[in-house]
């Protein structure tokens, strides 16, 4: 390893001349504040060391893990004894770090106080790089920014010669919305744990902090529930198209939530009720209104199945399921679905939802649901996920007046299962075609009439998987649209600018290629 590092250093020295390839503002999502200093460019050397205050150690280890393969540098992580805000410095071994070089006036408490739960400050001087934050999440987002400021070959899984230069200056950054997410439908097609972990990595790169897992649907039940074992044994063995399906054991699910937590991503589990439940009815016919088991379903229609809202056994089932899922879930949310229960009359639907909401509240979790839950009574903290295509939705606006907050997932902007163009080989078009510009050009703060920006918790990009069968296809639908939604969730409205975004995004193509991530080479983006 030492030999490799020396060789890499030699090559780096040869390429020391020339401008830094990345500009300080070339970050996705766009940072709140960018102050370039061309006199402050920093070049990472083979003897560089990461110094971190103790609570930031895990972030520093992750950053080192991203930078070691391509640089071939050892990048040891050492603790500093520093108190106060978390700091992570990356500088040559013989330099204390750039702290001394940063004028006190620009690193004062005023910025620090504004950083909040997820913000960070990044200072790059000739002496090194320093990331400062109030929380490990902030430090993690700052580390992701630093990763993007290194040249694209940093994504290489093996050592490559490059000048590992970082553009000089200061970034002060924090998110616009607290909730920034993506949804993966693991019910229509099942995705193995390893695939889900990789999806978490993709979210984390773009500062998305929630992964919503659509765990149950007509075609499959994907999460083990000990008190109702046939849900997975019988209900998990199918998927769209007739494949073998699959499900997560409790340990599988724990692995996912733990991996996500380390990357500051909160898992939001969805148990879709009362519709989208054919797989549950196959496993437990007593839940069916007819009390007769339906055949397993591997097609792609929606709206035909539902659990019996008139049977007490149904509520015992809901209580057991949400109780077990809540106990396995470290995050605060539990998503109850609620969409497309077309066969349930409005009155029974509403009564069912109100009981189910109370059962979730009893687990200590906060209810999330598709906006079809709107007519039901408010429960504390309730969040509706709006997936309409017409921002004139009086029922949802009324639910917001009664206390609900909104996650914005407009079908015609944020749905990643929509095709990019008529010739996109997979995906739907019921909400229209969604090219990158369409994914980017809308404002979550003012999208639904009568819903003020303060009621908007954030944005989420759902990926339904009726036609998406592999991780490669997930990536193809994610990239390059996921970063567009991420920018809507993170960046201040003032930075929103299509022409700037498309050129910043273009630079990510080579990064994805180097990292082995599939993407759709959208013709709207000026790929290098
Ligand atoms: C509608 S959006 C659904 C899903 C489908 C999706 C396909 C929503 C809450 N329900 O059941 O998979 O359309 O785009």
Of 303, 151, 140, the closest CA to residue 206 belongs to 140
Task: Check if the beta carbon of residue 245 is closer than 8 Å to that of residue 236.
Answer: yes
Distance 275 CA to ligand 1 centre (A): 12
Q: Say how far apart CA 372 and CA 497 lie, in whole Å.
A: 33
3-class state of residue 31 by DSSP: coil
- For the chain, which ranges sit under pLDDT 70? 1-18, 83-84, 94-113
The three state secondary structure string of 253-306 is HHHHHHHHHHCCCEEEEEEEECECCHHHHHHCHHHCCCCCCCCCCCCCCCCCCE
* pLDDT, position 264: 98
Of 56, 176, 71, 69, the closest CA to residue 485 belongs to 176
* Residue owning the nearest CA to atom 10 of ligand 1: 339
| Ligand 1 neighbours by CB, cut-off 6 Å | 302, 339-340, 370, 387, 415, 417, 428, 464, 466
**Domain architecture of the chain: domains with CATH:** 2-173 (3.30.379.10), 179-492 (3.20.20.80)
Q: Which atom of ligand 1 is nearest to the CA of 431?
A: 14
- The β-bridge partners of 428 are 418
How does pLDDT run across 272-292, given as a tens digit for each residue? 999 999 999 999 999 999 999
Residue of 340, 473, 487, 524 with catalytic role: 340
Q: Which atom of ligand 1 is nearest to the CA of 417?
A: 14
3-class state of residue 67 by DSSP: helix
Q: What is the DSSP letter of 377?
A: P
The three state secondary structure string of 410-468 is CHHHHCCCECCCCCCCCCECCCCCCCHHHHHCCCHHHCCCCCCHHHEEEEEEEECCCCC
Of 194, 290, 187, the closest CA to residue 243 belongs to 187
Q: Which atom of ligand 1 is nearest to the CA of 385?
A: 9
Distance 137 CA to ligand 1 centre (A): 31
Element at 247 (helix H, strand E): none
Q: What is the pTM of this model?
A: 0.95
Complex ipTM value: 0.96
Q: Say how far apart CA 509 and CA 517 lie, in whole Å.
A: 9
Distance 464 CA to ligand 1 centre (A): 7
How does pLDDT run across 296-346, given as a tens digit for each residue? 999 999 999 999 999 999 999 999 999 999 999 999 999 999 999 999 999
The helix-helix angle for 193-205 and 471-478 (nearest 10°) equals 20
Is 340 an annotated catalytic residue? yes
Task: Check if the beta carbon of residue 232 is closer than 8 Å to that of residue 253.
Answer: no
Q: Say how far apart CA 159 and CA 9 lie, in whole Å.
A: 11
Q: Which atom of ligand 1 is nearest to the CA of 339?
A: 9
Distance 465 CA to ligand 1 centre (A): 9
Per DSSP, which regions of 134-240 are E strands?
A: 165-166, 169-173, 179-185, 210-214, 216-217, 220-221
* pLDDT, position 111: 57
Q: Say how far apart CA 144 and CA 137 lie, in whole Å.
A: 11
Distance 454 CA to ligand 1 centre (A): 27
Task: Check if the beta carbon of residue 379 is closer than 8 Å to that of residue 426.
Answer: no
């Amino acid at each position: 390893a030492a030999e490799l590092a020396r060789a890499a250093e030699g090559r780096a020295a040869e390429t020391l001349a020339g401008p830094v390839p990345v500009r300080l503002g070339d970050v996705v999502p766009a940072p709140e504040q960018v102050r370039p200093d061309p006199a402050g460019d920093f070049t990472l050397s083979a003897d560089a060391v990461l110094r971190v205050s103790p609570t930031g150690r895990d972030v520093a280890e992750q950053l080192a893990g991203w930078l070691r393969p391509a640089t071939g540098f050892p990048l040891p992580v050492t603790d500093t004894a520093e108190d106060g805000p978390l700091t992570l410095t990356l500088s040559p071994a013989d330099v204390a770090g750039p702290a001394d070089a940063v004028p006190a006036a620009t690193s004062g408490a005023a910025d620090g106080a504004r950083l909040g739960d997820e913000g960070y400050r990044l200072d790059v001087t000739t002496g090194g790089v320093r990331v400062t934050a109030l929380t490990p999440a902030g430090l993690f987002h700052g580390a992701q920014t630093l990763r993007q400021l290194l040249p694209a070959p940093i994504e290489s899984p093996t050592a490559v010669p490059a000048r590992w230069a970082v553009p000089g200056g200061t970034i002060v950054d924090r998110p616009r919305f607290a909730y920034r997410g993506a949804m993966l439908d693991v019910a229509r097609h099942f995705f193995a744990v390893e695939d889900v972990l990789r999806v978490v990595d993709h979210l984390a790169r773009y500062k998305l902090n929630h992964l919503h897992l659509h765990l149950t649907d007509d075609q499959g039940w994907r999460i083990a529930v000990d008190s109702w074992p046939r849900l997975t044994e019988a209900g998990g063995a199918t998927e769209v198209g007739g494949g073998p399906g699959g499900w997560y054991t409790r340990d599988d699910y724990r692995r996912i939530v733990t991996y996500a937590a380390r990357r500051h991503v909160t898992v939001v589990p969805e148990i879709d009720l009362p519709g989208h439940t054919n797989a549950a009815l196959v496993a437990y016919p007593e839940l069916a209104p007819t009390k007769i088991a339906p055949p397993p379903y591997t097609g792609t229609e929606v709206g035909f199945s539902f659990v019996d809202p008139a049977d007490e056994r149904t509520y015992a089932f809901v209580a057991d399921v949400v109780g077990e899922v809540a106990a396995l879930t470290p995050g605060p949310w539990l998503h109850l679905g609620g969409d497309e229960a077309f066969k349930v009359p409005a009155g029974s639907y509403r009564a069912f939802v109100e009981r189910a909401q109370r059962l979730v509240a009893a687990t200590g979790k906060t209810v999330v649901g598709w906006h079809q839950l709107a007519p039901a009574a408010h429960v504390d903290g309730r969040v509706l996920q709006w997936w309409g295509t017409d921002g004139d939705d009086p029922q949802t606006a009324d639910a917001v007046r009664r206390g609900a907050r909104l996650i914005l997932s407009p079908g015609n902007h944020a749905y990643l299962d929509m095709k990019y163009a008529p010739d996109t080989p997979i995906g739907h078009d019921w909400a229209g075609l969604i090219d990158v510009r369409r994914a980017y050009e809308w404002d979550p703060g003012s999208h639904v009439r009568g819903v003020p920006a303060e009621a908007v918790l954030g944005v989420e990009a759902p990926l339904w998987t009726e036609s998406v069968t592999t991780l490669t296809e997930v990536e193809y639908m994610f990239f390059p649209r996921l970063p567009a939604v991420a920018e809507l969730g993170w960046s201040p409205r003032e930075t929103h600018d299509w022409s700037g975004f498309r050129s910043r995004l273009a630079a990510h193509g080579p990064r994805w290629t180097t990292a082995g991530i599939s993407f759709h080479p959208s013709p709207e983006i000026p790929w290098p």
